C-alpha cells in the first residue's frame, strides 16, 4: 500500500467522542461530549414536519438558502453591531466545525502560523494542521484562564503568523473574555496584521454579570474578523449541522469557494426549518440563559458539595474540575485512566482535561451540564462518595 498522508499521521481520534464510546461501554451517565438531552424549540421541529412534505429536498445555493441568510443577518446585525449583507457577508456551513475549517483554509497558507489559546477545543489544532499551518499555543492560566499579554505578543510576533483563533465563551474553561482582554487581542491583531477567527457557538450561554462581546464589534476589527458560530448550542440541535461564517465580502467570496468544494452546502430542508428558530423573539435567548444559569447552579453546587475543586464557568455549559489531589492520592499519573475509571467505577463519563491542553496537564476532568435536571441529579448521586468508589 502507498503511504498515507504525513499531514494527518499525528491525528488521534477525538478524545471527546472516544469518551462517549467508553460511556456506552460501561453504561455510565454521559457528561463528556457536549450535547443537550432536550429537543430544539417546538416551532423548529413543527416546521421540520411541514418541510418533510413541502420541501425543499434538493441542493440549496451553495453558500446557504436566501431566507436563512436573511434571517441570520437580521438576528445577528443588532447583536454584533455591524452591517451584515446576507448576500456578501455570510456563508452557511455544516456546523461551526466546518465554519472554522473553512475560515482557516480561506486565510491561512501552508507554512504559516496560527495562534491558539490553550486549553482549547480540540478541533483547532487539527484545523491548522489540515491547512499545513503550525499552531502557536498561548497559555490561558488557571484558575481564571486568562492570558498574559506579553506571552500573547511573543506568539503573535513570530514570523509567518497569520491568524489567531478565539473561542469565546471558551470551551473547555467557560471563560468569557472581558472587554479589556478582547481589546488586548485587537491591539495584537492590528500591530501584527492578523486575521481573528472566532468560534462563538456559546454566544447565548453567558452567565451574569458576564456579557458576551462579539470580537467583530470592536473598533476596526470587523474588517479582519471571521466570526464563526452555529445553531447547535443556541437551539439545542447539534445533529442538524448548521453553522456559518460572517466576514467581510472579500473574505466571504473566498470562503464560499472553499465551502463549496468541502461540502457543497448545508442541508436544505434543515435550513428551511431552522429559519423558525432564527426569527424567535429576544425572550427565547433570555429563557435559554435562565435555563443554563439554573443548571450551572444546580450542578456546580452539587460538585462543590461532593468535594470537587471546580472553576465556575462564566459561559458555555462545561465545568473543569481539578482532580490533582485525588489523582495523587489514588496513584494516577494520567487523567485518561482516571476518567475511564470514573466511568467504570462511579458511572459518570467526563473528558480527561489533557486533550484540551497543548502541554501535559493531567489534573482536570471536564463535565458538561446540558442535561435534564433529573439526569444531573442522578449524576451527582452517582458521584456521591466518588473517592471511595475510585479506591474500590
Ligand X SMILES: Cc1ncc(COP(=O)(O)O)c(C=O)c1O
CA distance 279 to 290: 19
Q: According to the binding rule CB under 6 A, does residue 120 interact with ligand X? A: no
Query: 64 or 243: whose CB is closer to ligand X?
Result: 243
User: 224 near 106, Cβ under 8 Å?
Assistant: no
Query: 116 or 346: whose CB is closer to ligand X?
Result: 116
Q: According to the binding rule CB under 6 A, does residue 234 interact with ligand X? A: no
Question: C-beta of 388: minimal distance to ligand X in Å?
Answer: 32
Residue 103 grid cell = 475560515
Buried b / exposed e across 117-148, counting CB within 10 Å, b at 16+? bbbbbbbbbbbbbbbebbbbbbbbebeebbbe
User: 138 near 107, Cβ under 8 Å?
Assistant: no
Q: According to the binding rule CB under 6 A, does residue 90 interact with ligand X? A: no
Q: According to the binding rule CB under 6 A, does residue 203 interact with ligand X? A: no
Q: According to the binding rule CB under 6 A, does residue 198 interact with ligand X? A: no
Residue from 103, 155, 201, 339 that binds ligand X (CB under 6 A)?
201
- The 3 state secondary structure assigned to 310-347 is EECCCECCEEEEECHHHHHHHCCCCHHHHHHHHHHHHC
CA distance 252 to 245: 8
264 CB-near residues (< 8 Å, 6+ apart): 59, 62
Query: 273 or 390: whose CB is closer to ligand X?
Result: 273
Residue from 86, 95, 174, 347 that binds ligand X (CB under 6 A)?
95
Q: According to the binding rule CB under 6 A, does residue 171 interact with ligand X? A: yes
Q: According to the binding rule CB under 6 A, does residue 167 interact with ligand X? A: yes
Residue from 36, 64, 243, 353 that binds ligand X (CB under 6 A)?
243
Question: C-beta of 97: minimal distance to ligand X in Å?
Answer: 3
Query: 23 or 232: whose CB is closer to ligand X?
Result: 232
At 227 the three-state DSSP class reads strand
- Interacting residue ranges for ligand X, rule: CB under 6 A: 34, 95-97, 121, 167, 171, 199, 201, 230, 232, 238, 243
Amino acid at each position: 500500500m502507498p503511504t498515507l498522508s504525513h499531514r494527518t499521521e499525528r491525528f488521534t481520534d477525538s478524545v471527546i467522542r472516544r469518551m462517549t464510546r467508553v460511556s456506552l461501554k460501561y453504561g455510565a451517565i454521559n457528561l463528556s461530549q457536549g450535547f443537550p438531552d432536550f429537543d430544539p424549540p417546538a416551532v423548529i421541529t413543527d416546521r421540520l414536519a411541514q418541510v418533510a412534505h413541502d420541501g425543499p429536498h434538493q441542493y440549496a445555493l451553495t453558500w446557504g438558502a436566501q431566507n436563512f441568510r436573511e434571517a441570520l443577518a437580521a438576528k445577528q446585525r443588532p447583536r454584533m453591531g455591524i452591517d451584515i449583507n446576507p448576500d456578501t457577508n455570510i456563508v452557511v456551513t455544516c456546523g461551526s466545525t466546518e465554519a472554522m475549517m473553512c475560515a482557516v483554509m480561506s486565510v491561512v497558507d501552508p507554512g504559516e502560523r496560527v495562534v491558539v489559546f490553550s486549553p482549547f477545543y480540540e478541533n483547532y489544532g487539527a484545523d491548522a494542521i489540515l491547512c499545513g499551518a503550525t499552531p502557536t499555543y498561548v497559555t490561558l492560566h488557571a484558575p481564571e484562564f486568562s492570558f498574559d499579554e506579553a506571552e500573547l505578543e511573543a506568539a503573535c510576533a513570530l514570523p509567518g503568523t497569520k491568524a489567531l483563533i478565539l473561542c469565546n465563551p471558551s470551551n473547555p474553561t467557560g471563560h468569557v473574555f472581558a472587554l479589556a482582554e478582547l481589546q488586548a487581542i485587537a491591539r495584537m491583531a492590528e500591530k501584527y496584521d492578523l486575521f481573528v477567527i472566532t468560534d462563538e457557538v456559546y454566544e447565548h450561554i453567558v452567565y451574569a454579570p458576564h456579557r458576551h462581546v462579539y470580537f467583530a464589534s470592536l473598533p476596526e476589527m470587523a474588517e479582519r474578523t471571521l466570526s464563526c458560530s452555529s445553531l447547535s448550542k443556541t437551539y439545542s440541535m447539534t445533529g442538524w449541522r448548521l453553522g456559518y461564517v460572517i466576514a467581510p465580502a472579500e473574505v466571504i467570496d473566498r470562503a464560499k469557494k472553499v465551502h463549496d468544494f468541502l461540502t457543497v452546502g448545508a442541508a436544505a430542508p434543515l435550513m428551511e426549518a431552522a429559519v423558525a428558530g432564527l426569527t424567535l423573539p429576544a425572550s427565547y435567548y433570555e429563557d435559554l440563559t435562565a435555563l443554563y444559569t439554573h443548571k450551572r447552579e444546580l450542578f456546580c453546587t452539587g460538585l462543590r458539595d461532593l468535594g470537587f475543586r471546580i472553576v465556575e464557568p462564566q459561559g458555555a455549559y462545561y465545568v473543569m474540575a481539578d482532580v490533582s489531589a485525588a489523582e495523587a492520592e489514588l496513584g494516577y499519573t494520567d487523567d485518561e485512566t482516571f476518567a475511564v475509571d470514573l466511568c467504570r467505577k462511579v458511572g459518570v463519563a467526563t473528558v480527561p482535561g489533557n486533550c484540551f491542553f497543548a502541554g501535559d496537564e493531567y489534573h482536570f476532568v471536564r463535565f458538561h451540564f446540558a442535561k435534564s435536571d433529573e439526569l444531573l441529579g442522578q449524576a451527582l448521586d452517582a458521584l456521591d462518595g466518588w473517592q471511595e468508589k475510585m479506591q474500590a
